[in-house]
Amino acid sequence: NASEESASRSGGDNEAEGGLDGESDADKENAIGQRKFNYPTSSAKNWESVATLSAIRAPVTKIEWGPRESSLAVTMENQASVMNETILHRTLRNDVAAMQLSAQKLLVQRGASTRIESHVGLRIKGIDVNDTHVLVWNQKKAEVYQFQDDRMDKVASFPSKAESMALYGETVFQTNGNQLEVSNVQGVSRKAISFSEVEGEPRFLHINGKFLAVATNKGVLKVYDVSRREPRQVGSGTRFVEPQRSRSGKALKAALIGEIRSIRCNADGTRVSILSDVVKGQFMCEPDTRIHVWNLDKDEMQAYDFGPDRYPVSHFWDGQEPKLLACEAKRVGKSLSSFEECPATRKSSDAALRGSRLRHVTEDDEAASPGKPSLERQESEQEKERLQKIRISRQGRRRSGVDVAEVEVVTLFATDERVGVMMQDSFSLDAGLDALLGVKVPRLFFISKPVDGVPRLKGRTMRDFVGLDQKVDEDTKRALIDFSYHLTIGNMDEAYKAVKLIENVSVWENMAHMCVKTRRLDVAEMCMGNMGHARGAAALRESKKEPEREAQIAMVAIQLGLLDDAERLYADCGRFDLLNKMLRASGQWTKALEVANSFDRIHLRETHFEFGRHLESLRDFKAAIANYEASGTHRKQVPRMLFEADRIEELEGYIQSQCDEELTKWWGQYCESLEEFDRAIQVYQRVGDELSLVRLHCYLGNMRAASEIALNSSNPAASYHLARNCEQRGEVHEAIQFYSRAGRYNHAVRLAKESGMNTEIVNLALRAPKSTMVEAARYLESKRMFEDAVVLFQKGGNIPRALDLCFRAELFDLLATITDTLTLRKAARPESRQSGSGAAGEASASLVPGSPSETGSEVSPREEYDPEDSAGHSPEILSRCAEFFIEHNKFDKAVNLYIAAGEFETALELCFHQKVQISEDMAESMTLDKLSVPDGARKDPKQVAKVKEHNERRQRLLESIAKCCKKQGSFHLAAKKYTQAGDRLKAMKSLLRAGSTDKIIFFAGVSRSREIYILAANYLQNLDWRNDPEIMKSIISFYSKAKAYQQLASFYDACAQYEIDEYREYAKALGAFKEAVKYIGKVQDESLKEEMLMSLQQRIALVERFVQAQKLVGSDPEEAERICNSLLAHPEVGTAIRVGDIFALLVEHHFKARDMDQAHQLIEKMKARGVAVGPYLDAGMLDQIAGAVGVDSLLDDRYGRGKHDSHGADDADMIDEDDEIEEDLAWGHK
């Protein structure tokens, strides 16, 4: 019921694309053909619209797929149409292209001029062409046409069931079952090439030059040389498989890579490229994202992967260059898991529908149909999109969905290197082109989208040949191809050899363009030199200072005029400062401002300023003002610009509208320059510029108004200007007044001296800086106004001069006043004053409370006089003042003056005899720097002697200060000074007197002296080491470091006795005794060691027996009692064990056994030996025993420890902190 009519556009060769054909007479309606992929979930976004059919002229009520040939039945209200899917084929051989226009219509085009359209007698299912003939077939019938000039005549027609056919001259190759038949154009078979059952049936054929490639349905690939009468196989053939290995590395049976859907042979028959589908399950497959290349010479499969988001749909070898391969790759719109259909079930795949002419109607089209956006909106959107691309590029997401083309054309080189197939170039398919048709150096050929219903053949020059003439000689062509090939594989030496003889500037320029794409800076430099581009070569050398390689390449792009590439490169490497600079230089101000605002804000103001200058040159003053304001330079640039443009009224209006103080002042100065003084005064009053008002009134002679303004103003500059004018007019009093208001007292004092106003000098000078005070004091001294001069000398800081004047003028009252108020200023002490280094220096800094090590402050401050006039700082005068204070019994002030005069010995003597307390500041002031002989003066005896004398004096002073401080009770300060003097032993003794445990431990640890270790340990033994583990640890550590093994053994002995007396822990005491024995063994004195060992070993033996008795009292009481009785009978038991503890153990045992009589007898024996009962036995237990034996009480009147207590008594009395420590500290060695 329906006749066929073409409703599709040109598609791919064997991978061609197609649409649906159909026609009826009803009103037009649209039917949308859709194909469903097997996505994990089904939604509207998972469906891809294939075609919109406009041939339906009635409302559609039902659509249904047919069982064969992808037929679609469309049911309408009163009729039905059946439409078949048509695959549109295309092919290119040399310069002849054949394109299917519809089911039975063919277009043959030779070059750019000859186009022949013709109908054929069958529905085209396949097509091939050579220089004179074109072959079409449909698996039932084949026809051969001969074309010449503008005619195309059918020369033969014969039946054929071949799925694939190929044409070579007047020979036809066709598949027939498991055979490849060779026949003439009439279909007469001349030879048949058989394939075994294992090899499979041939399905795909392709001829390039004289080589024929064949692929079977079982993945067998063969290449034949068909230039002879009988085809001759090249090589041995292969299978489309990839090797498999187990986890252990053992080779397994090779598996098919996929199901072949297209093959192509290269020009010399050494390589065959394959497109395939990856089969998943029995019915599902998906296109492989790789293109595979069989290398016949190496008999290996190589591959190039287009990545997870693209898959190849067509591929073509160049007719002469055997390594060059061109591919068309399509982006996977969604996550492609698998297709529902595969070639085994559907002969047409999704790739076959990609060339359909039927438009895909989307929601975006419907939304945009009511009206078109304005031009401004389009530009704004484009600009936003461009900036978004820059951001994406910066964050490394250039290949996100926003920036990826739907179809991409890729040129590849099939190499013999280990890398295999490598990409040479890639670009997006232009919007006006439909599909790739083939490649012939130097051009790629495409099918354009239909114009007036007919597609056309379009050529695009390859990247390596852009800019060259249309006709490129063979030598240049070969050189450029070799250059590109070697550049692709990274062989720069061979690449340079390939092109070094080329003299065509266009070739070098084109190569430079290519270097920008490939980012090859070294090649670009060579190209620039061969181009004679001196400016570009210089800019390139300058760009090498930039660390980023992309920035260097971008400079090459700029010199070549490739601004878009330069913009992309700068964005890639994040050099938005250079991108901003380039955009400004190229006049792309909008982009420059966007880049600066988003990524280069440090140059944002500069960009606005440059843009303002540009707009000013265009006389766009309004926009220029806005940019000057954005750059912050409007206060200078806007008045300059409008003034130069003679737009005074506009300038005045701008200044009034801005209400800017600086601009308003400028306008007042401009009015003043025009002698419009009243107008200028109004402007200055509006902005509150008192200085300008005073200046202008003084210029006009209106001194009264100027005075009123200055008196009511807090601006010192206004008062100063008025004072200068008053001085010029001879108004001295007014000038002094306004100088004072301005804070310029030096001028007021100067004017008072010049005018002889001596009475006012003092008051003015007291408010002036110190230098002015001293200068005024000298003036008053010359005028014999000594009292005022002394006051000013004192306030000015020149104390020695004031004191000298007091003595000369006999002003003893003022002298007393000055000395009463005399203070020392604190100056930071130089680091060189800190004697010692390392741990010792740190120790000396930490001995005094509040020192830097404790407070965290800087070095201890030193008190000095603050001499403003060093010439008047006379030690003699200070000594005279000190003598004056001694006469009046003010020894503390005298000491300070002697220190200031440098007479430290006298000051120390006065402190010692008159008991003047030495403070830390005073001690630091008397501490001299330790000097060393410079390297260059070591051979100078005078210099060496001077340094030695200085250091000896320093040593004496430090010792004297330390002794005096020690006498005064400043033990910390004394310890610090002893440390600085290098006498650490005396420093430790001073610390021991101070009783600062933390400092003693610290100082001993950093001093590393045996004597100091022993002193510190002896001192710590007198502390509560029993309850402070840290002190006990320090004692053991110090004795060990000092190798004082006798003292350490005595300490362990004391520890053992403490455990016995306080806790009755004989087991722990036994351990301490053993430690004591260990260290006694290290004592050097043999006689002493033997004596102490005998005593300790005897005590250890006794304690061990008693510990054994304590353990046996529960399990073997008879043995325990026997041991205790033997211990009680031992004459020396009291040296190791308290007798009361032995009796207590026996009494407690019998008490628990309820043997009260025996317990009572033991208690009586205990009393008989003079041992107090109360300290050893519980009172409740005694009461129970007493009640059991019938006595009143077993407690005696005594409550002491008796003779047994000699070893349980507390340690020796602590050393009285107020007693003097002897120099040898013999008590620590007892």
Q: How far apart are CA 27 and CA 5, in angstroms?
A: 17
pLDDT beyond 90 at 485: no
Query: What does the pLDDT look like over 1183-1193, one tens digit per residue?
Result: 888 888 888 77
pLDDT beyond 80 at 854: no
Burial class (CB in 10 A: 0-12, 13-18, 19+), 1216: exposed
Q: How far apart are CA 892 and CA 896, in angstroms?
A: 7
- DSSP strand pairing (165-168 vs 862-864): unpaired
Average the pLDDT over each of 19-28, 384-393, 1079-1088, 1183-1192 and give the range with the smallest value: 19-28
Spatial CB neighbours of 402, under 8 Å, sequence gap ≥ 6: 385, 388, 389, 392
Q: How far apart are CA 869 and CA 875, in angstroms?
A: 13
Average the pLDDT over each of 20-34, 975-989, 1077-1091, 1129-1143 and give the range with the smallest value: 20-34
Residue 354: pLDDT band by 50, 70, 90 thresholds?
very low
Distances (CA, A) of 626 to 383, 642, 654: 21, 13, 12
- Segment 605-618 mean pLDDT: 92
Q: Please, are residues 1001 and 1016 in contact by the beta-carbon 8 Å criterion? A: yes
pLDDT beyond 70 at 303: yes
Residue 69: pLDDT band by 50, 70, 90 thresholds?
low
Q: Pick from 328, 311, 332: which is nearest to 404 by CA?
A: 332
Q: Pick from 569, 613, 565, 563: which is nearest to 588 by CA?
A: 563
Query: What does the pLDDT look like over 1207-1227, one tens digit per residue?
Result: 433 333 333 333 333 333 332
Query: What does the pLDDT look like over 1050-1106, one tens digit per residue?
Result: 777 788 777 777 777 888 877 877 777 777 777 777 777 777 778 787 888 888 888
Distances (CA, A) of 552 to 390, 559, 1070: 19, 11, 84
**Per-residue model confidence (pLDDT) at position 1182:** 84
- pTM, two decimals, is 0.48
- Segment 519-540 mean pLDDT: 76
Q: Please, are residues 1048 and 1038 in contact by the beta-carbon 8 Å criterion? A: no
Residue 360: pLDDT band by 50, 70, 90 thresholds?
very low
- Segment 1192-1200 mean pLDDT: 61
Residue 383: pLDDT band by 50, 70, 90 thresholds?
low
Side chain identity at 1213, as an amino acid letter? Answer: D
Spatial CB neighbours of 993, under 8 Å, sequence gap ≥ 6: 966, 971, 1217, 1221
**Per-residue model confidence (pLDDT) at position 404:** 65
The SS3 assignment for 343 reads coil
pLDDT beyond 70 at 389: no
Most confident of 368-377, 695-704, 792-801, 1169-1178: 695-704
Here the tokens at position 876 are 């003699």
**Per-residue model confidence (pLDDT) at position 1197:** 53
Ramachandran region, residue 996 (left: φ > 0; alpha: ψ -120 to 50; beta: rest): beta
- Segment 261-279 mean pLDDT: 93
Average the pLDDT over each of 652-661, 752-761, 837-846, 1022-1031 and give the range with the smallest value: 837-846
- Segment 623-649 mean pLDDT: 90
pLDDT beyond 80 at 996: no
Query: What does the pLDDT look like over 89-135, one tens digit per residue?
Result: 889 988 899 998 888 899 998 877 788 888 998 989 999 999 899 99
Q: How far apart are CA 350 and CA 339, in angstroms?
A: 9
The SS3 assignment for 204 reads strand
Q: Pick from 363, 362, 342, 360: which is nearest to 352 by CA?
A: 342
Query: What does the pLDDT look like over 1142-1153, one tens digit per residue?
Result: 888 888 888 888
Ramachandran region, residue 585 (left: φ > 0; alpha: ψ -120 to 50; beta: rest): alpha
Q: What is the mean pLDDT of the chain?
A: 77
